[in-house]
Amino acid sequence: MANMTLIQAVNDGLKTAMRTDESVLVFGEDVGPKGGVFLATEGLTSEFGERRCFDTPLSEDGIVGTAVGMAINGLKPVAEIQFQDFIFPAFDQIVSEAAKFRYRSGGLYTVPMVIRTPYGGGIRGGLYHSQSGEAYFCHTPGLKVVIPSNPHDAKGLLLASIADPDPVLFLEPKALYRAVKGEVPDGHYTVDLSTLRTAREGSDVTVFCYGAMVPVCMQAAERAAELGIEAQIMDLRTLMPLDEEGVLEAAKRTGRVVVVHEAPRFCGYGAEISALIAEHAIEYMEAPVARVTGFDTPFPNTLEHHYLPDDRRVLDAIEHVHNY
């Protein structure tokens, strides 16, 4: 056990995977000797050599396209996209290729690979270093989408993603890279994909969230508790495939639901959670589902703290569904 930040846990997860499996390769822009712009890959090139951890040309399409080719030919690539905002040149490779190979080839060719990329706001990165694009990818059959919220899960989910037989988009909440610390087990362990985590017990309101919104919701829950409202905080961890039963169970427990994400609202992930509850648990609901999200605008720079859901906004929604 060691006390680590989330970024250290990612680094530890990568090293653990590379130590146990020679077919695991790590590459992307500046991930080699520099260790990545956030230092997620620090020390990998020196420990594993340039054939296993290396810098690539500045081409997201090339990074993911070559990773797909490696994966169908027996390697386990863990490709880094420097910021999720830069992933779109690789959208075709992810959506049309990685996610569809198994299906279109009847299982003859499969793509066991991981694409790691930091997402979300909180670093004054403006339009192009702050976005949360999870909804684009969750809409793609054949692709798994995973988002950790703490060091323990970051390492365990990353190792589970690397071991997974299907392509996984691993979105790392960059706002939490150094903002959260926690105990991380030594060596190899996994956190099962498609499992929820109850971050806080509470019987009055259920809050669904993931990634960087989890600590925000925890803060809001503490403030709600001062008002006599006990919020249950559910960390979704894997957005696709989602543990739908777990979501419905948690929603039914309180009958009052808030969904929180920093991505824009329209067609955002919260819409799916809301629809799921409307379809399968409406008779348990005491209030309409409330969504706390980023605005349907591009991501602003100077005023990003107004754009990002904070404990005020989440608390307001908790109070609203509680008092409905």
Partner 1 sequence: MKLTDPLTVIAPDGSTPGHDPKLSDDELVYCYRTMLRVRAFDDTCMKLQRSGRIGFSIPNRGIEATQVGAASALRKTDWLFPSYRDFGMALYHGITSLEMMNNMYGNAADTSKGRQMPVHFGFTDPIKWVSISSPIGTHIPQAVGAAYAMQYRGEDHVALASFGDGGTSSLGFHSGLNFAGVWKAPVVFLCQNNGWAISCPSEKQTASQGYAIKGRAYGVPGIVVDGNDLLAVRQAMLEAVDRARTGGGPTIIEAVTFRMGGHSTSDDPTKYVPKEELEAWAAKDPVARFERYLEGRGLWTKEHAEAMYAEAMEEIGAAARKAEDTPAPGLETIFSDVFEEVPEHLRKQGQAAFDLASRKGDAAGGGGEFPL
Give the active site residues. 129
Query: Among 13-21, 105-113, 217-225, 255-263, which window interacts with partner 1 (CB under 8 A)?
Result: 105-113
Is residue 165 within the footprint of partner 1 (CB under 8 A)? yes
Tokens of 66: 């070559």
Residue that is written with structure tokens 């008779």 in the block:
283
Q: Which is nearer to partner 1, 62 or 182 (CB)?
A: 62
Is residue 25 within the footprint of partner 1 (CB under 8 A)? yes
Q: Which is nearer to partner 1, 115 or 308 (CB)?
A: 115
| CB atoms near residue 201 (< 10 Å) | 11
Helices (H) and strands (E) in the chain, counts: 12, 14
Q: If we measure between CA atoms, which residue out of 204, 267, 263, 198 comes closest to residue 233?
A: 198
Q: For Cα atoms 86, 90, 94, give the angle at the middle one, nearest 5 degrees.
A: 125
User: Residues 47, 222, 244, 296: which binds partner 1 (CB under 8 A)?
Assistant: 244
User: Residues 44, 87, 102, 292: which binds partner 1 (CB under 8 A)?
Assistant: 102
Binding residues for partner 1, total number by CB under 8 A = 46
Q: Which is nearer to partner 1, 141 or 185 (CB)?
A: 141
Q: If we measure between CA atoms, which residue out of 267, 308, 268, 291 comes closest to residue 126?
A: 308
Residue 32, C-beta contacts closer than 8 angstroms, at least 6 positions apart: 41, 45, 50, 53, 54, 55
Is residue 230 within the footprint of partner 1 (CB under 8 A)? no
Is residue 312 within the footprint of partner 1 (CB under 8 A)? no
Is residue 323 within the footprint of partner 1 (CB under 8 A)? no
3-state secondary structure of 288: coil
Omega of the bond leading into 264 within 30 degrees of 0 (cis): no
Is residue 108 within the footprint of partner 1 (CB under 8 A)? yes
User: Residues 68, 233, 260, 317: which binds partner 1 (CB under 8 A)?
Assistant: 68
The whole-angstrom separation of Cα 212 and Cα 261 is: 9
For the chain, give the longest Cα–Cα distance.
59
User: Residues 107, 279, 302, 303: which binds partner 1 (CB under 8 A)?
Assistant: 107
Q: Which is nearer to partner 1, 92 or 316 (CB)?
A: 92
Is residue 80 within the footprint of partner 1 (CB under 8 A)? no
Is residue 141 within the footprint of partner 1 (CB under 8 A)? yes
| Contact positions vs partner 1 (CB under 8 A) | 25, 51, 56-57, 59, 61-62, 65-75, 77, 89, 92-93, 96-97, 100-110, 141-142, 144, 165-166, 194, 241-245
